[in-house]
Amino acid sequence: MRIAVLGSGYVGLTTGACLAETGNDVVCVDIIEEKVKALNRGTIPFFEPGLDALVRQNFEEGRLTFTTDVVHAVRDSLVVFIAVGTPPEEDGSADLRYVLSAARDIGRAMDGERIVITKSTVPVGTARLVREKIEAETEHPVHVCSNPEFLKEGAAVSDFRKPDRVILGVDDPGAAEVLRDLYAPFVRTGNQILVMDAASAEITKYAANAMLATRISFMNMVSRLCRRVGADVDMVRLGVGSDGRIGPTYLFPGVGYGGSCFPKDVKALACTMRELDLDSSILDAVERVNEDQKRLLAELAVERFGEDMRDRTFAFWGLAFKPNTDDMRAAPSLVTIRALLERGARVVAHDPVATRKARRILGEAVDFREQNYDALDGADALFIHTEWHPYRHPDFSRMHALLAQPVIFDGRNLYSPRAMHARGFEYYSVGRRPVAPARRLAALGARGASSPDSR
């Protein structure tokens, strides 16, 4: 099948490469000429495990090409995906200018019947708007479908190849059959292709992300309660997750969600609810709890070191909002770093892949290091924001020796408090009692410190 994908970002490039891998001829279109040139040289503009090799292989074998020529791409294809960005407006609503511009370009280029698919995350009603834009530019028949993506950053290729489900919002049985055939290689183990109307498909995407964000914010709210009363959120998480009606996923407390999806999708869905005079209070609370949680480690640092941090140096392990990506959008680390910088602290940071993008945001205000242990030398404390694998089992003796004070603020609960106490660390985590060497226990007692043998 001949396919055009408009937009060569995270979603578009993953979609194009994975569809090319199954034998389709795919052309990815982007309006940024430099990006297209880079892609033709084999340079991927972001970090996503496995995608660079997949792109290069299909490019070299001739199934995947890149261009700025929308007209040629549309006229040479039966199926056209719209996978452009939908950044948030100031009120939280999705900015559809790029989607609707792509639709207009498709309509102007069409020389026959086409199937047009919105792959971008868009609010309910967008398929209708896309159809109107296309039909205003052409007399040829068009079938506009919604096929939302469910790709996790850091696992996008795997998610596309082995989807939990494929959602098809279609307006025509014939278009549905074409798309079933297109996705057949990815659902051979029996995962579902769910066919529905376009509006239902559009809502499904937002509802799924909002539900996952809600679970995260709920457990972060519970973690605050656990810290206040001296309970252990890990035990609570296991107890709650063992209920078959709830399950264990997305119940890990932390320093809040970030990235390109959850923050903007929760806001966009809430905005849609308000526009329709519907109650958005649950979504508003999810967002509020998340923003509060991003301030947690800075709050703990102020409790420990005081407001004046002009003589303090703090190390950071992890900057990206999650592991296996270089995405710094809405990253909780930025909230903590800025709070410490505002109080006069010096920040030295390490991330395996996100340093380049973090430097664009933070500039010279942060000292970036290539090796994680180099960030620790002489620091008053270590902050952990991203659960990269190299941070999970580090050399604790080396860490203890490098740090000026063996203090760790762990926003991802990577380590056992009991083990950290035994190693001589003062250790603060999320929703668990802090631990410290004996000389610090009295000072911590007023804030709910644990006993030395606490878990």
C-alpha 29/C-alpha 42 separation (Å) is 15
According to DSSP, the residues that pair with 272 across neighbouring strands are none
Confidence of residue 411 (pLDDT cuts 50, 70, 90): very high
| Residue 5, CA distances (Å) to 66, 84, 118, 141, 157 in order | 10, 9, 10, 19, 16
CB 89 within 8 A of CB 267: no
Q: What percent of the chain stands above pLDDT 70?
A: 96
DSSP letters, 323-364, are TT----TT-HHHHHHHHHHHTT-EEEEE-SS-HHHHHHHHGG
**SS3 state at 86:** coil
pLDDT at 428 exceeding the cut of 60? yes
Angle 281-293/262-275 helices, nearest 10 degrees?
150
CB 186 within 8 A of CB 21: no
C-alpha 5/C-alpha 44 separation (Å) is 16
> Tokens at residue 127, please?
């398929």
Within a 13 Å sphere around the CA of 318, how many CA atoms are in the beta-carbon half?
26
Quick: pLDDT tens for 310-336.
999 999 999 999 999 999 999 999 999
User: What mean pLDDT value characterizes the chain?
Assistant: 94
**Catalytic residue at 271?**
no
DSSP letters, 2-25, are EEEEE--SHHHHHHHHHHHHTT-E
Confidence (pLDDT) at 334: 98
Confidence of residue 436 (pLDDT cuts 50, 70, 90): confident
The pTM for the full model equals 0.91
> Tokens at residue 160, please?
């596309």
**Average pLDDT of the residues in 394-415:** 98
Confidence (pLDDT) at 440: 59
Confidence (pLDDT) at 104: 98
pLDDT at 266 exceeding the cut of 80? yes
According to DSSP, the residues that pair with 146 across neighbouring strands are 118, 169
pLDDT at 439 exceeding the cut of 80? no
CB 46 within 8 A of CB 326: yes
Which of 18, 145, 226, 261 is catalytic? The answer is 261
Give the number of other CB atoms < 10 A from CB of residue 274.
Answer: 16
DSSP letters, 89-136, are -TTS-B--HHHHHHHHHHHHH-SS-EEEEE-S---TTHHHHHHHHHHT
**Average pLDDT of the residues in 83-111:** 95
In degrees, rounded to 5, the angle at the alpha carbon of residue 311 between the alpha carbons of residues 408 and 423 is 25
pLDDT at 450 exceeding the cut of 50? no
Quick: pLDDT tens for 161-185.
999 999 999 989 999 999 999 999 9
**Average pLDDT of the residues in 260-278:** 96
Nearest to 58 by CA among 44, 68, 69, 78: 44
Confidence (pLDDT) at 447: 47
